[in-house]
């Protein structure tokens, strides 16, 4: 069976192919008949599948994170591509090429590892340089850090995403260092490289991306601070104040309590890290949203629920990635949706309650000031 990738599926296609089951939901139609909704994926993207017939029998043959071969027809429903599945069966892992099913960073992992090594060598502070080596000279840690995604669904959701995101934030640090005097460059780069390090244990990414039990119960911020303390304890003479400042950066990099941050930024470097992390995360999330709809002829994307808006994409594809776009009338704002259930570890910093904002002063209105 030839592999048909999600990105190549077009409306009315009749196809047979193998996909990874990212999610599996059983539900009941209004007529009382059961149906099944599947979230199917490969390295090129995700697509929804629906099973309307023989639901109970077919559901018993496979589980989430299994590979399944399907026979189906592609159709567009409410503006999104969907597969109507008529037949399916489970496929053993040894019969598939795993590299076909998990998305990867467009940057080569080896290239990013070389950039990381160059960054570590650039540290002038001997204590922070020793700490970076304690992390990144550890083969067990690097085997995870080099391939972990940066999130489950918000941004950099692909193998190598954590390393790519961390390096991007570090490059942003070096871009602004010449613009402001008095910044501790080494401390900021260390924060950029370590702020999400706990995600190597928070998430699973051998099949579909999900959370570990440790991730759900503790979260990557707590895990990261624990990992940081373990490395610092192994370095004799590491300055106590420096350790405190670096821990604060990890604890506060989500910015606000309602975004899952145990502390708010209270140093200049921690504040900068919060905004640069947020900037890189949102740029990647918006770009991913636009690229998913490269084939759409509309000048606008579909509604982005987390960022509470549509995005204008005219001129976004300079290399001819998208077909010529046509004029369409303004899109109506969607009805309010109830937020989906999610695990406690899910990062909420990209899910502002009132749209795409990052205004710390808004939080002061009508509240007692918790200055510490």
Reported as a single tens digit per residue, the pLDDT across 340-357 is 444 444 444 444 444 445
| Statement: residue 328 has pLDDT above 70 | no
Integer Cα distance of 224 and 62 in angstroms:
35
- Cβ contacts of residue 195 below 8 Å, gap of 6+? 166, 169, 224, 249, 250, 253, 273, 277
Share of the chain above pLDDT 70, in %: 84
Q: How confident is the model at residue 317 (pLDDT cuts 50, 70, 90)?
A: low
| Statement: residue 336 has pLDDT above 50 | no
Give the pLDDT confidence score for residue 193 in this predicted structure: 98
Burial of 88-123, coded b for 16+ CB within 10 Å and e otherwise, reads beebeeeebeeebbbbebeeeeeebbebbeebbeeb
Give the pLDDT confidence score for residue 269 in this predicted structure: 98
Q: If you count DSSP H runs as helices and E runs as strands, how many of each does the chain have, helices first?
A: 11, 7
β-bridge mates for residue 24, sequence order: 38
Give the pLDDT confidence score for residue 152 in this predicted structure: 78
Q: Record the pTM.
A: 0.73
| Statement: residue 28 has pLDDT above 70 | yes
Integer Cα distance of 130 and 233 in angstroms:
12
Pairing state between β 34-42 and 14-28: antiparallel
Q: How confident is the model at residue 315 (pLDDT cuts 50, 70, 90)?
A: low
Q: How confident is the model at residue 334 (pLDDT cuts 50, 70, 90)?
A: very low
| Statement: residue 37 has pLDDT above 70 | yes
**Closest C-alpha among 76, 40, 78, 38 to residue 58:** 38
Give the pLDDT confidence score for residue 76 in this predicted structure: 92
Digit-coded pLDDT (tens) for 248-307: 999 999 998 988 899 999 999 999 999 999 999 999 988 888 887 776 778 898 888 888
Pair 278, 349: CB distance under 8 Å: yes
* Count of CA atoms in the C-beta half-sphere (13 A) of 82: 15
Digit-coded pLDDT (tens) for 205-216: 877 788 899 999
Lowest mean pLDDT among 56-65, 109-118, 234-243: 56-65
């Amino acid at each position: 069976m030839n592999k048909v990738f999600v990105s190549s599926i077009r409306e009315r296609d009749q196809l047979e192919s193998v996909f990874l089951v990212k999610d599996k939901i059983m539900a009941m139609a209004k007529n009382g008949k059961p149906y099944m909704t599947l979230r199917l994926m490969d390295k090129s993207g995700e697509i929804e599948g629906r099973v309307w017939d023989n639901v109970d029998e077919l559901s018993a043959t496979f589980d989430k994170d299994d590979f399944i071969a399907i026979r189906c027809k592609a159709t567009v429903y409410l503006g999104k591509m969907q597969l109507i599945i008529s037949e399916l069966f489970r496929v053993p892992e040894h019969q598939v090429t795993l590299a076909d099913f998990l998305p990867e960073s467009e940057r080569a992992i080896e290239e990013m590892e070389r950039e990381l090594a160059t960054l570590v060598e650039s540290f002038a502070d001997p204590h922070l340089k020793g700490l970076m080596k304690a992390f990144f000279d550890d083969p067990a840690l690097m085997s995870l850090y080099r391939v972990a995604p940066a999130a489950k669904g918000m941004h950099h959701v692909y193998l190598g995403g954590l390393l790519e995101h961390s390096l991007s934030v570090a490059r942003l640090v070096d871009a602004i260092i010449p613009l402001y005097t008095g910044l501790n460059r080494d401390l900021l780069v260390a924060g950029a490289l370590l702020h999400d390090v706990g995600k190597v244990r928070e998430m699973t990414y051998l099949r579909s991306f999900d959370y570990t039990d440790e991730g759900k119960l503790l979260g990557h911020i707590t895990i990261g601070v624990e990992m940081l303390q373990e490395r610092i304890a192994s370095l004799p003479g590491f300055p106590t104040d420096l350790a405190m400042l670096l821990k604060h950066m990890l604890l506060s990099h989500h910015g606000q309590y309602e975004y899952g941050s145990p502390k708010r930024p209270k140093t200049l470097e921690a504040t900068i890290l919060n905004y640069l992390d947020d900037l890189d995360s949102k740029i990647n999330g918006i770009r991913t949203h636009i690229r998913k709809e490269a084939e759409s002829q509309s000048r606008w994307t579909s509604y982005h629920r987390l960022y509470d808006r549509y995005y204008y994409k005219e001129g976004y594809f300079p290399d001819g990635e998208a077909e010529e776009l046509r004029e369409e009338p303004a899109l109506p704002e969607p009805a309010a949706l109830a937020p989906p259930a999610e695990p406690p570890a899910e990062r909420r910093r990209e899910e502002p309650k009132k749209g795409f904002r990052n205004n710390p002063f808004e939080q002061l209105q009508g509240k007692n000031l918790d200055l510490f």
